Amino acid sequence: MRDIVQLDELTINQIAAGEVIERPASVVKELVENSIDAGSKNITVEVVKGGIESITIIDDGHGIKRDDVEIAFERHATSKIRSAKDIEHVTSMGFRGEALASVAAISRVTMITKTAEDELRNKNCIRSGKVISKEDIATNIGTTIIVTNLFFNTPVRYKFLKKDYTEVGYIDEALRYLALVNKEIAFRLTNNGKVLFSTNRKSENLKMLYIHYMIEKLQKILLK
């Protein structure tokens, strides 16, 4: 597991994408991709009111080192690359170091994380991209990220969110796609405590997920 570092200006200018969080599904996609890159075998996404009220991502990946938590929320801080030359050899889903910073800029974030080297999990509350409180708690290796008050400081974006059931539909579609292309990982999605889908890495389970995903895609095409 590599340390998280902040990239130099030249590399930033070459890779910057200006990550924009448009809706709850954008948050889920970015954070779940981080969980996949962390080597997770099980990823659970729990949303309340379509992710508008809260989004919780729970994984059993390798976690984030205690000393790296604060810098992880800085823009263009990443463990995936060290310079623009490394882009040619990137195998991870993300490498720009923008996801956590983008999410933290428009919401309230709590991160609970533990590596194999840590005795206790480190719970951090982040506001405006800065860690404002820390505490140690006992739990398993991995990372849990809780996102609340989405778009609290950008009311224009909040205004354009759809109804809860529409937003959870976007989340469902994004997570089903990630589940289909990462068959070695078990995924679970709940909304308001109700399980919307789960995978267990078995071929039959994934086959049904694929069929459901394609039916939804066809329905959207026909309704256009």
HSE-CB of 85 using CA atoms within 13 angstroms: 1
- What per-residue confidence (pLDDT) applies to 32? 96
- What per-residue confidence (pLDDT) applies to 52? 95
- What per-residue confidence (pLDDT) applies to 14? 36
- What per-residue confidence (pLDDT) applies to 97? 57
- What per-residue confidence (pLDDT) applies to 8? 52
- What per-residue confidence (pLDDT) applies to 21? 83
Whole-structure pTM value: 0.79
Spatial separation of the C-alpha atoms in residues 19 and 99, rounded to whole Å: 7
User: Tens place of pLDDT for every residue, the chain, 224 residues?
Assistant: 656 555 454 344 333 434 568 899 999 999 999 999 999 999 999 999 999 999 999 999 999 888 888 777 776 655 444 444 544 444 444 444 577 888 888 899 999 999 998 887 789 888 877 788 889 888 889 999 999 999 888 888 899 999 999 999 999 999 999 998 898 999 999 999 999 999 887 666 777 777 777 777 666 666 65
HSE-CB of 171 using CA atoms within 13 angstroms: 35
| Cβ burial 153-191 (10 Å sphere, 16+ → b, else e) | eeeeeeeebeebeebbbbbbebbbebbeebeebbbbbbb
Residue pointed to by tokens 């919401």: 107
Spatial separation of the C-alpha atoms in residues 188 and 41, rounded to whole Å: 12
**Domain 5-223 in CATH 3.30.565.10:** yes
Spatial separation of the C-alpha atoms in residues 95 and 79, rounded to whole Å: 8
N residues, the chain: 224
Sign of CA dihedral 115, 82, 80, 109: positive
Domain ranges for the chain: 5-223
- What per-residue confidence (pLDDT) applies to 62? 92
- What per-residue confidence (pLDDT) applies to 127? 83
